[in-house]
Amino acid sequence: MFKNSKKLSRSDSSASATSEELEEQNQRIAAGADNLLRLCQTVNQAQASTSNLKSLKDLGGVKGLASALFTDLSRGVELPTVEARRDAFGPNSLPSAPRKSFVELFIDTFDDATLQILIVSAVVSLAVGMYDDPTAGYVEGCAILAAVLVVSFVTAANDYQKESQFRELSATHDESVDVVVRRNGVYWQIAVTEIVVGDVVCVETGDEIPCDGIVISQDGLQVDESALTGEPIDIDKNAESDPFMLSGCTVVAGSGQFLAIAVGKNSQWGIIKSKLEKEQEQTPLQEKLDDMAALIGYVGIAAAAATFVSMMFIKIVFDPAELKETSVFSYALEAFIIGVTIVVVAVPEGLPLAVTISLAFSTKKMLADQNLIRHLAACETMGNATNICSDKTGTLTENRMTVVKGVFADTRCDDTANRVPVLISKKALEYILDCIACCSTARVIFPDDDEPADEEEEEATIVDPLSPPVDRRPRIIGNKTEAALLLLAQSEWTPNDDTDERRKAAGFDSGESRLFPFSSKRKRMSALVKKETSVVTSAATPASSQKTSTVRSWTLYHKGAAELVLENCTRYLDIDGTEQPMSDRKRREFKKMIKKFASEALRCVAMAHRCEVEKLAEPSKCTVEECEKKLEKEMCLDAIAGIMDPLRSDVVEAVATCQRAGIFVRMVTGDNLDTAVAIAKQAGILMEGGISMIGEDFRNLTPAELDEVLPKLQVLARSSPEDKHILVQRLNGALMPETEEEWLELHPGKDFNTQKDKLLPGYKEEWSVSRHGVGEVVGVTGDGTNDGPALKAADVGLSMGISGTDVAKKASDIIILDDKFSSIVKAVLWGRSVFDNIRKFLQFQLTVNVVALTITFLSAVAGYQPPLNAVMMLWVNLIMDTMGALALGTEPPRNELLDRRPYARDASLISRPMWRNILCQSLYQLALLVFLLNQGPRMFGCEDGSTRHFTILFNAFVFCQVFNEFNAREIGDRFDPIRSLSKSPMFLLVIAFTVVAQWFIVEFGGDFTQTAPLSFDEWRLTIGMGAFSLPVGFLMRLIPVAEDPQTFAGIERTKAKKDRSWLTVLLAVLLPIFIAIMYQLYVEIDEIDEAYEHV
């Protein structure tokens, strides 16, 4: 019939449909499936309860909708129609993407454009090298392929490890939950995945709602919708005001039955999860790396082409004597081989490795800062985030209702959130504590005393990141507002009262006392508590002791909306525990206090009592109506409590740090506008001139109107998941519909030509024009299911590890393990550090590339082999690639990185100051090479062009790179090459290894490296020549070259003005020097050729 089902009751006696009627019903369901789906959607729009309720009434209420879905509310669906309903409306499940294997992740790494260029270069180099020199021609090509394989392996291993960590983190949820439904008049227990549209579903306290539905009947039903809507208050569900049950939410009180109207992908939870299946576009770092690889490739190809043309021009036009015996074809082949060599030298094969090492290193370190990185690229992307769209509940706030201030026994307490002990008499405190304990249906469960302590658990979290984070706070069962008062009573505020014992002593379980639970209609609740007190009947005399008798009396404890409770109070509790008459002045004072609390977005709850109510009515037989009419009058006001979901302790400072770092922080929440505005002001998010808006107004804007609002939009309240998704799309252009078909898929039934510029989120072409094709880099924080789509569309999605739902975690790129907003700031700091480390490596590597490219080009044009042979160049490449990546890619972050603006999405990886540094260091190294080619033999007393001569040149060149590595630690104007060296052990290790390895290669390389041992003086002089890179590094930073303001985010993009930077002047000065070096090199090489001819 249906699998894994269990019959719980017998069929009722109501008549069932005949087989013919059932067959007709199945046919009508199949034929009208689309219309029925649209009908259900009209009453199931996200965050639109008012319009949903109106649509439901238009359909005749839940009975009318059930009739349209062919459901008998008393019997449920007929069993023979279940399969037809599943075929028509879909199953109550969504397919989950299978985990990628290591091999699949390894293959995916080759989608990177830089790696593809390297592979092509390696293949060409292998082919040409083997043709030109079969014995050693394979070295360069194999080295490049080895670098590619290392990068791919490390990237795949990191991705696989992060996915394993995430799956361990999410392994606590089991979707194979059972639920009770009514079919054929029988209660069945079935798997959640077996539910169909039209089912009558039964839920009770603690159940997770398995699908969307409309309440049929209920008994005190309350639902926590914070995971889906962001609303922190439990919602009363009834047929009159709010009958809508939303999938993924939790029943916190009562029980009920509802009609299933949307399952699987059509439910609110399913709609959110389906948006997570779309993959995000490239990250800003990937875009920059692809652009950089393409640019360097073009430069290399241009240099190779120039070399080939120059050599062929010399051969054909001048045909010098040394080339007369060489045929045009042979020389053309030789020119082609040299051109390929130039391309290979130009391609930065170490760049992907540097990126991977830097990201992998930072990812490991960020675990200690409570950031679990699921995707490596997200680490860097977060550093240049220009916008953070944060959820409120559970992210900025604790998602825990708390008494933050109040008036207790006419005593003002403004710091109850920190549990400062209240200074009132014991008698007054007893009244308040009895009211809190007895007027409550909630329970607070504290962690067991034998569980690990907080410090141990935190240490375990850092050491073993695979351990799921644990919420060590007390667990709440029932109403969150009532629990807030219980937590206050059980804290140091009282101090540490046992409310469970008070409730037990009141005798609710034995029936001695009575409770009228909170009603959303009355907005109040009452408890009638039977008390026994001892009364002295006769005083003690010399002949007899004091006599007492037990008197039984009833006390009314009352709690509810402050303004309603105050109206029914004629007395108030004083600090000494006595009851004082409520004067008009005192009543105005309390009303003013309630109004002030409300203006601060506090939920005001008042507590009152009345003694000896048995004189007014019979408490044991009293009804709620009689209690309200006779007893809830002339009460004594005990306390007024201001309750709210408070900010996390670290939020204010963290938000201020983000704003100082140039990041625009926005709050996007499903909560009401007043509460959202109050919290945003406390957090420092909503500032003067900022705009706050509700979701209904937001979604009615056109794309152009929204673009005008975005620069000042700081709070979006009463927003649906779709609103948050659209906001992110509009900011960064992610997953924006690009074609008419994609637009129509988002807006079924609309006309593309007439409405494309009127409906959000717009379309790709229009968005690109409005932003010059460059969007913001957006980080989104969230913990609820409702945050899933926005987390996926963001450049970086950050979910909460403790309070976050599985949907939020699966959609995110970074999981904040400790749920602290300050950990997001650490993610920004590490991200900026990664970006700067990549730029440091680029500055270092491109210097070597420019020198090697120029030397190779000039040598080829002059008809002379480069002074550095293949093995030497391989060692230099190793220094700049693997060693450079390890040294510069693992530099620790510095707090000063948070004092600058983020870089724009289209900002180049190489800034103007970096170009200055590259050009100046390249010029020095070129000048040194030319000097050693010319004056080296005379200076060191060696034969011109000998192995020893070229070893001296090679040693000086390598030590130029060693000392330039210190220069590369700074990419701006600051010159401090040894700053924080003690915090960079990897840098020191790499430098030490490079020096030792260089000594070994020079002294013992012999024929393999074509080097000769050097004397102490030769070592001293060549090291000194390399060390001169440091004073060059100081002098070059004196040249005033500033970064282009348009490379930073937040700067208005205007037509670029004429560049008046000193970089232009620098280029003008260096160009003739560069030409002079080229000419000198040509002359020296020509002289060496003549010397060899004489020999």
Q: Which residues are catalytic?
A: 391
Residue 379 tokens, joined: 């680490």
The structure tokens listed for 946 are: 């000998």
Query: How many whole angstroms separate alpha carbon 108 and alpha carbon 728?
Result: 27
Residue with tokens 């039209």, as numbered in its chain:
198
Which of 643, 637, 133, 700 is CA-nearest to residue 432? 637
Q: 654 and 816 in contact (C-beta within 8 Å)?
A: no
Q: Which amino acid is at 941?
A: G
Helix (H, G, I), strand (E, B) or coil at 814: strand
- What span, in angstroms and rounded, lies between the C-alpha atoms of 800 and 958? 48
- 741: Cβ–Cβ under 8 A, 6 or more apart, which residues? none
Check if the beta carbon of residue 347 is closer than 8 Å to that of residue 141. no
Contacts of 783 (CB under 8 A, 6+ apart): 227, 391, 393, 394, 395, 399, 799, 800, 803, 804, 805, 808, 819
- Taking Cα atoms as reference points, which of 695, 107, 605, 176 lies closest to residue 402? 605
Write the DSSP symbol of residue 469. P
Written as one string, the DSSP assignment of 692-710 is EEEHHHHTTS-HHHHHHHG
Are 734 and 280 in contact, with CB atoms under 8 Å apart?
Answer: yes
User: 10 Å Cβ neighbour count for 1058?
Assistant: 6
The answer to whether 767 and 710 are in contact (CB under 8 A) is no
Token output for 271: 């709609």
- Which residue matches tokens 């030319």? 930
Alpha carbons 661 and 833: distance in angstroms, whole number: 13
Q: Beta partners for 180?
A: 189, 202
- The helix/strand/coil state of 775 is coil
Angle at CA 472, nearest 5°, toward 469 and 474?
Answer: 140
Amino acid at site 566: L
Give Cα separations from 170 to 157, 350, 399, 469 (angstroms). Answer: 20, 36, 20, 10
Report which of 139, 226, 383, 272 is spatially closest to residue 903, judged by C-alpha positions.
383
Q: Which of 875, 677, 664 is nearest to 779 (CA)?
A: 664
Side chain identity, residue 950? F
CA distance 849 to 300: 10
**Using CA atoms in the order 124, 126, 129, 134, what is the torsion angle rounded to 10 degrees?**
-150
Q: Which of 774, 700, 778, 682 is nearest to 390 (CA)?
A: 778
DSSP code of 1040? -
Q: For residues 819 and 651, give the distance between their C-alpha atoms in angstroms, rounded to a whole number.
A: 11
CB distance 949 to 942 below 8 Å: yes
How far apart are alpha carbons 196 and 190 in whole angstroms? 11
Residues 6+ apart with CB under 8 A from 90: 263, 264, 265, 266
Q: How many CA atoms lie within 13 A of 500 on its CB side?
A: 4
The answer to whether 87 and 197 are in contact (CB under 8 A) is no
**CA distances (Å), origin 66, targets 196, 215, 217, 668, 833:** 13, 11, 14, 35, 59
CB neighbourhood size of 952 (10 A): 26
- Rama region for 378: left / alpha / beta (φ>0; ψ in -120 to 50; rest): alpha
